[in-house]
Amino acid sequence: MLEISRFASCILYKMGNKLITFTDQQLVNYQDCTFFTRKEILRVYKKFRDMKPDLIPRVMKKNEAYSIQLPVEYLEELAEFKENPFKKRIFEVFSRNSKGNLTFEDFLDMLSVFSEAAPRDIKVFYAFRIYDFDNDGFVGPTDIDIALTLLTKQELSIEERQQITEKVMEESDVDGDGKLSYIEFEHCITKAPDFLSTFHIRI
């Protein structure tokens, strides 16, 4: 995944009258840490800057690729996330300050995980983090209840959500400790036939 130290010297620059681009080495570095091609990386940068061009500079200097943060309210308007009930939680998981604001590298990392090229185990890992709303390292009944509330737009009653939560725990909590570990969650979610197709965003 993207590391601050690895991109500490990441600088965008302008070549003559051409559009902003990355040096070959910068593109190699980003390719090594994502599942994107060079063309896709440039497309992601354009999408990132287009959201608020007065904040995101045309030429990033020094540490700006991992220090300038795009406020979450702009990210929430992206067509790819606008109708996603988990969007706020997704941005929190990929935000380095956990508040939902994203730097370019956070944004690149996020879209890389949701790309078609990202392997299943990476997607499951981040799905687990997204469902772990209280960040305790497990997906418990409260986490499942929150997820159900988001997914059903609060259309289910408390009793209905409780019944579903109890059913999930009954089928997936193998060790009977009242919460799902990563292994238990992985076994549960990978049984869903549409998991990979829903955990995917095309850029």
* CA separation for the pair 192, 45 (Å, rounded): 33
pLDDT at 22 (0 to 100)? 66
Q: Show me where the domains of the chain are located.
A: 20-113, 120-198
The architecture in CATH of the region 120-198 reads: Orthogonal Bundle (1.10)
Q: Which CATH fold would you assign to the domain 20-113? A: Recoverin; domain 1 (1.10.238)
pLDDT at 203 (0 to 100)? 77
Q: Which residues pair with 43 in a beta bridge?
A: none
Count the Cβ atoms, other than its own, within 10 Å of residue 127. 22
- Residue 88's φ and ψ, nearest 5 degrees, are -60, -45
* CA separation for the pair 140, 151 (Å, rounded): 17
pLDDT at 57 (0 to 100)? 85
* CA separation for the pair 15, 7 (Å, rounded): 21
In this prediction, the residues of the chain whose per-residue pLDDT falls under 50 are 1-20
